[in-house]
Chains A and B, each alone.
Chain A
């Protein structure tokens, strides 16, 4: 009996280990294969030439531009919304808004792309443009930012709010001066995750951003924006090893951006934990 149970125990943990290996292997394989495939075209020309000359300079710049746009649009709206939910909203409204935000988080990205096309691009006459792309991406990542901001503010101990109220500080000043500093790291790490998500998105951009062999400009409307995931997607379907290598190179660069963002976000999470630790009474 005892031997049987020990055997079952070992089998169980063996299976669990196997499951973990099944999770770890793909991530190693993906990173490895993408870099391996990108090797033939890796070099400075990749970063100094545009897509019409076998480089991806314009796509990198375009992707970064889109990230800045998302940070401006979704960042401000999302953080403001999250602060409202955590600090100002009445309980019933909180539940209502949180529900909508959660449902929006589950919205398929192609739906956002389709609606972005028929409304922003066509009906509003924006054309394939930076603004249409940024709005589509922002709708997609907004729920994440609202959520992380709300959670970061909630993690600040109530005693700080009570102390501020006891000293007669108005609510808005409490939020800005007292609650924001400890919550900031958490908020920023949420923003970074949102940027990581936007870097990898393609479906909402496919029919809102367009593509261009030129470097992106700051024109909001009527100017198409090149971006990395589109290079991967189109070159993948082209014949020829060179195109496939360029697709992999664009994938490797977007992967690198994501990994850098994740690392930065992690650093911020550690700081956030340190900022609120020991605050509660």
Chain B
């Protein structure tokens, strides 16, 4: 509907020329050349995306044929005996003796850690952004906003370093111990040194907070003052204004920012690899247990997979990567669909950092 409205506002061509012909007649020869050169550059991201997806599918193909559905029903991912034994053959493809490729624990780790991260990050981001936008004097806003920018810029390996040496041990001595003492199923057990699912998820939350919070802050700032003043004139307290006017006004944008953060959490590699405890082939029995994700698993196993003379290990990791790619893509597209569905005003959405 908006498309037709837009089209209607464009003034029609004056003398029966089509819009396209008119535009072309305005461009000089040099313009056309410049435009063509720039167009090539503009197509690079699209080409890169298609190329990445195609290569990923090509790399994964032998593993897809070799594994079949077992890929999604097995919980063991082992490269097998890389130095001896007769290679096993399945559907015409070879793999090392004893090799088994199952994605389930990785998939579980990715989905659960990202879900925890989003559940923790969204209220904190929205609350913090609201505080920053509504309650902090304008003079201080820039200075306090620096926290968000610094947080957004911290390299993920530094998050890993912090998680493993500072945050993890601190939490296992304090918060995790108290949580474990409540004896809630799956939330109990020994926190250990603080490496595991909960620590990694919380660090992921800290990593995606700047993405969600800085976008949300911009959105809160873009809410027209008149709307808020109306609410105040009706006798609403500041918190009621926030809850009934400001937040609903930008909820589509918050949703879009959340999806952006979710995408980052799903694909995060290095921080998770360092903090997760890197457990293969098992599901975490409690929230404090070591685990692994698809992204971290690829990074951890790739070195070993390179020594597989049948090459199937590399292809199997490719299949893991393809699943990760598809999950991320689905989250992105789902987010786009949702934002379009619930979109009210078409407010701008930033991109985190």
Tell me whether A6 and B38 are in contact (CB under 8 A): no
CB-based nearest A residue for B47: A100
Tell me whether B238 and A118 are in contact (CB under 8 A): no
| Distance (whole angstroms) from the CB of A190 to the closest CB of chain B | 10
Tell me whether A106 and B237 are in contact (CB under 8 A): no
Q: Is A209 an interface residue (CB 8 A)?
A: no
Looking at B51-59, B85-93, B224-232, the stretch in contact with chain A turns out to be: B51-59
Q: Contact check: which of B156, B160, B209 meets A236 at CB < 8 Å?
A: B160
Counting contact residues on chain A (CB < 8 A from B), the size range is 35 or more
Contacts of A144 in B (CB 8 A): 351
Q: Is A163 an interface residue (CB 8 A)?
A: no
Q: Contact check: which of B45, B48, B131, B324 meets A20 at CB < 8 Å?
A: B131
Q: Contact check: which of A146, A206, A258, A261 meets B42 at CB < 8 Å?
A: A146
Question: Given A9-B237, A262-B153 in contact, is the A197-B353 Cβ separation under 8 Å?
Answer: yes
Tell me whether B161 and A232 are in contact (CB under 8 A): yes
Question: Given A88-B39, A114-B317, A196-B353 in contact, is the A206-B164 Cβ separation under 8 Å?
Answer: no
Q: With A and B bound together, what is the CA distance between A199 and B213 in angstroms?
A: 22
The 7 closest A-B pairs by CB, nearest first: A108-B267, A200-B155, A19-B127, A80-B41, A12-B239, A84-B38, A100-B46
CB contact list, B6-62 vs A, under 8 A:
26-28, 30-31, 34-35, 37-39, 41-46, 48-50, 52, 55-56, 59
CB contact list, A121-161 vs B, under 8 A:
139, 142-144, 146-147
Contacts of A203 in B (CB 8 A): 156, 269-270, 295, 299
Question: Given A258-B154, A259-B153, A262-B149 in contact, is the A22-B42 Cβ separation under 8 Å?
Answer: no
Q: Is B321 an interface residue (CB 8 A)?
A: yes
Q: Is A177 an interface residue (CB 8 A)?
A: no
Tell me whether A206 and B153 are in contact (CB under 8 A): no
Interface of A, secondary structure class, is helix
CB-based nearest B residue for A101: B45
Extra 18 A-B pairs, beta carbons < 8 Å, given A13-B238, A111-B325, A244-B165: A13-B131, A20-B144, A29-B167, A30-B154, A30-B159, A34-B158, A84-B35, A88-B39, A101-B46, A108-B321, A143-B45, A196-B353, A203-B299, A206-B302, A229-B270, A233-B274, A254-B157, A254-B158
Tell me whether B150 and A200 are in contact (CB under 8 A): no
- The tally of CB-CB contacts under 8 A between chains A and B is 274
Contacts of B128 in A (CB 8 A): 16, 19-20, 22-23
Q: With A and B bound together, what is the CA distance between A101 and B302 in angstroms?
A: 28
Question: Given A108-B266, A110-B299, A111-B321 in contact, is the A232-B165 Cβ separation under 8 Å?
Answer: no
| Distance (whole angstroms) from the CB of A229 to the closest CB of chain B | 5
Contacts of B298 in A (CB 8 A): 110, 114
Tell me whether B166 and A9 are in contact (CB under 8 A): no
CB contact list, A70-91 vs B, under 8 A:
76-78, 80-85, 88-89
Q: Is B132 an interface residue (CB 8 A)?
A: yes
Question: Given A16-B131, A23-B213, A107-B49 in contact, is the A202-B147 Cβ separation under 8 Å?
Answer: no
Contacts of A101 in B (CB 8 A): 45-46
Q: Contact check: which of B43, B59, B164, B317 meets A97 at CB < 8 Å?
A: B43
CB-based nearest B residue for A18: B127
Q: With A and B bound together, what is the CA distance between A200 and B124 in angstroms?
A: 24
Q: Contact check: which of B127, B131, B153, B324 meets A258 at CB < 8 Å?
A: B153
Tell me whether A109 and B155 are in contact (CB under 8 A): no
